[in-house]
Amino acid sequence: MKRDETIKVMGLDTGYLDRKHTTVITRDINASLFSGELTCLLGPNGAGKSTLLKTLTAFLPPLKGDILIEDRPLDSYSESDLAKVIGVVLTERLNINNMSVDELVGMGRSPYTGFWGHMSDYDRKVVAESISLVGIDGLRGRMVQTLSDGERQKVMIAKALAQETPVIFLDEPTAFLDYPSKVEIMLLLQKLSREKNKTVFLSTHDLELALQIADKVWLLDKPHGVTVGTPEELALNGAISTYFQRDGLAFDIENRLFKILGLK
Amino acid sequence: MSRSSTVILMGLLGISIAGFFILNLLLGSVHIPVDDIIGILLGRDDGNMIWRNIILKSRLPQSLTAMMAGAGLAVSGLLMQTVFRNPLAGPSVLGISSGASLGVACVVLLSGSIGGVALSKLGVIGEVTITLSAIVGSLLIMALIAFVAQKVRGNVTLLIMGVMIGYIANAIIGVLKFFSAEEDIRAYVIWGLGSFSRVSGGQTSVFIILMLLLLPVSFFLIKTLNLLLLGDSYAKNLGLNIKRARLWVIGCSGVLVAVVTAYCGPVVFLGLAVPHICRGLFHTSNHAVILPASLLGGASLALLCNLIARMPGFEGALPVNSVTALVGAPVVMWVLFNKRKNDV
C-alpha cells in the first residue's frame, strides 16, 4: 500500500500561552507521519508528549512553526472539517453513564450526521463495521459504565474508526491496562494502520512494546527535541540508550529489552 | 431500554399530565360538579357566574401555568446538568434566578422609599412591573454569565462564578430589605415563595405563548447536548464549537428560567429533580429521549404539586416551594437508592 505523508511538522514549538507569559515545553520539532504506519511517541514523564499531541490535534495553539495536515495548514481547518480528518482517543476517563456502546460509537458519526443527529443506513453500517473491526460485537448493548478499562479503550477506538478519519491520535491508550490487554490494543492499532491505511500516532510509556510493534518512533526529550527513526535505527545508533539509560538500567540492543542491573 | 418501552413510558407521562390536569380542574376548596365543569369549558352559559369564574379565572389558568412552568424548569435544569456535567446543577445555580429576585427586589423594595408609592398596592400595573423587572434582572445576570463563559475555560470555574454572582445578588437584596418599608418586604417575600396562581388574566396567555415559543428551541440542541456528554475534548474533536455550544445551552436554559421565575417566582427543586427522575426511569443519557421526558415529567410533577398545594384544608395557602421540595426530594432519593451503582 502506498504510504503518503499525511502530517508534516516544521519548526514547531509547543507549550502554553498565558495572558502574561508563554511556557515553551518543546522546541523546534521537525517530523512527519505517514499513512499505513503505526508511529509511537516515546519520552520520559514531563517531556511534553501530551502537549505535542494536543497541539497536533488543535486543542492547543502552536507557539511557533507550521503543521500541515494532508498538505493544508492545521489552522485553516474548521472544527467540522478537522473532525473528518483526525480522530482522537484520550487518556481522560469518560464520565458517562447510561449510554450504550452502540450509542457511544455512533457519536463518532456526528461530523457526518445532520442537524438532528439522525443516523442514515450508511452511518449504522459504519458503526457496525467499526465495532466488528475492534472485536467488541458482544458488547454492543452494554452500558459504558459497566465496561472494564480495556473494553472501554476499545470502544473509544471504535468511536475513532466510526469517525472515518485518515488519521487517528491516541494519548496513552495502553495506560491502566494489564499486559495482555496492552499487547492486544497495540496489535489492534497495528492492524488498523495496515488494513485501513490509517495514520496511527500514539504516545505511550510501554517502551519495549512500542519498540517491537511500531513502524516509526518519535523520541521526545527536552534537551534533544524529537528524534525520529525506525526502532532498529534508534536502537543501533544509541538514541534509545541515551534517552532512557539511567544508573542501574541498561538497554539490550539486540533483544530490544531493558535490563535492570541492580544497584552497584 | 428498548424503543417500545421508551414509547410506553413516554405515553404514561403524557397520560399522567392529562390526569393531573383534570384533577386540578375538579378538586379545590369549592366543590363543582363534573357536568358543570365540562359545560363551562365548552362555553355553555349555565348562569352560575361564581363557578364560571373559579374555573376560567382560577383553576384553568393556574393549571396551565403550572404545566408550562414545570416543563420549562425541568428542561432548563437538564440543560444545566449537561453543560456543567454536574448532577447538582439546576436552574438556580448560575445565579439567574437570583438575578430575577434582584430585579424584583429593586423594583418592589425601592418603589416605596423612592417613588413614595408602594408598588404592592398598584394592582395589575404592579404585577406587570414585577414580571418585567424579574426578566430584566435575570437576563442581565445571564448576559454577565455568558460574557464570563467566553473568558474562562473550565466548567467548574464558570459554575463557581455563577454561584458567586448569586451570592452578590442575594447580598444586595439583603441591603435593600434593610431600607424598605415593611409592607414592601412582605410583598417581596410572598413573591419569593413561588406560586402558579400569581399570574392572572391576560398575563397567563402571554406566559403560555412565551413558553410555547421557548420550549421547542431546546429541541434544536439535542445533538449538541449529546456531544457535550463526552466532555469538551471529545466533543471538540467531533466538530463541536464548544464556546458557541455553551453559549446556546446556557442562553436557552437561562431565558426559560428567567421567564418562569418572572411569572411564578423562584420555584425551587423541579429543575434539579425532574432530570434525575427521568434518567432513573428511562435508563439513558440520550437527550433525544431524556429531553422530551423531562419536559413531560416536569409538567406532570408541577401539576401534582399544584394539586397538593390546593388540597382541601390548605385552601391554596400552601406555598408551591414547600410542596415541590416535599414531593420531589423523596422521589429523587427513591430513584437514587433504586438504581445500580454508578448510574447517576
Q: What is the pLDDT of residue B123?
A: 62
Query: What is the arithmetic mean of pLDDT over B283-287?
Result: 90
| Interval A171-219: pLDDT, tens | 999 888 889 989 999 999 999 999 999 999 999 988 889 988 999 999 9
Q: What is the pLDDT of residue B340?
A: 54
Q: Is residue A104 part of a domain?
A: no
Q: What is the pLDDT of residue B314?
A: 64
Q: Tell me the domain boundaries of chain B.
A: 3-338
With 70 as the cut, is the pLDDT of residue B343 above it? no
CA A32 to chain centre: 14
Percent of chain A with pLDDT over 90: 52
The packing angle between helices B320-338 and B270-282, to 10°, is 30
Q: Is residue A205 part of a domain?
A: yes
Q: What is the pLDDT of residue B214?
A: 92
> What is d(CA A80, CA A101) in angstroms, rounded to the nearest whole number?
23
* Cell matching residue B333: 432519593
Q: What is the pLDDT of residue B119?
A: 54
With 60 as the cut, is the pLDDT of residue A264 above it? no
> What is d(CA B297, CA A152) in angstroms, rounded to the nearest whole number?
32
Contact present, B84 and B245 (Cβ < 8 Å): no
Chain A residues closer than 8 Å to B226 by CB = 107, 117
Beta carbons within 8 Å of B137's beta carbon, 6+ residues apart: B99, B100, B101, B102, B103, B104, B106
With 70 as the cut, is the pLDDT of residue B52 above it? yes
A79·B279 Cβ contact <8 A: no
Q: Among candidates A41, A67, A78, A84, which has minimal Cα distance to A207?
A: A41
Task: Indicate which CATH number applies to the domain containing A260.
Answer: 3.40.50.300
Residues A146, A151, A157: CA angle, nearest 5 degrees: 125
Contact present, B18 and B299 (Cβ < 8 Å): no
Query: What is the arithmetic mean of pLDDT over A160-165?
Result: 94
CB burial of residue B308 (10 Å; 0-12, 13-18, 19+): middle
Domain membership of residue A38 as a residue range: 1-77+167-179+198-264
Q: Which of A54, A98, A123 to mutate to test the interface with B (most CBs of B within 10 A)?
A: A98
With 60 as the cut, is the pLDDT of residue A259 above it? yes
Domain count, chain A: 1
* A3 DSSP 8-state letter: -
Select from B223, B240, B343 the Cβ nearest to the Cβ of A97: B343
Q: Which residue of B has its CA nearest to A79?
A: B239
Could you tell me which residue, A62 or B199, shows the higher pLDDT? A62
Q: Is residue A242 part of a domain?
A: yes
Q: What is the pLDDT of residue B65?
A: 92
Interface of A with B (CB under 8 A): 57, 59, 79-80, 82-84, 86-88, 90, 92, 94-99, 103, 107-108, 110-111, 113, 115-117, 145, 163
Q: Is residue A47 part of a domain?
A: yes
Architecture of domain B3-338: Orthogonal Bundle (1.10)
| Interval B109-160: pLDDT, tens | 777 655 555 555 566 677 778 788 888 888 888 888 878 877 777 777 888 8
Mean of per-residue pLDDT scores for chain B: 83
Strands A64-69 and A72-73, by their bridges, are antiparallel
| Interval B15-38: pLDDT, tens | 999 999 999 888 877 778 888 888
Q: What is the pLDDT of residue B344?
A: 44
ipTM exceeding 0.85? yes
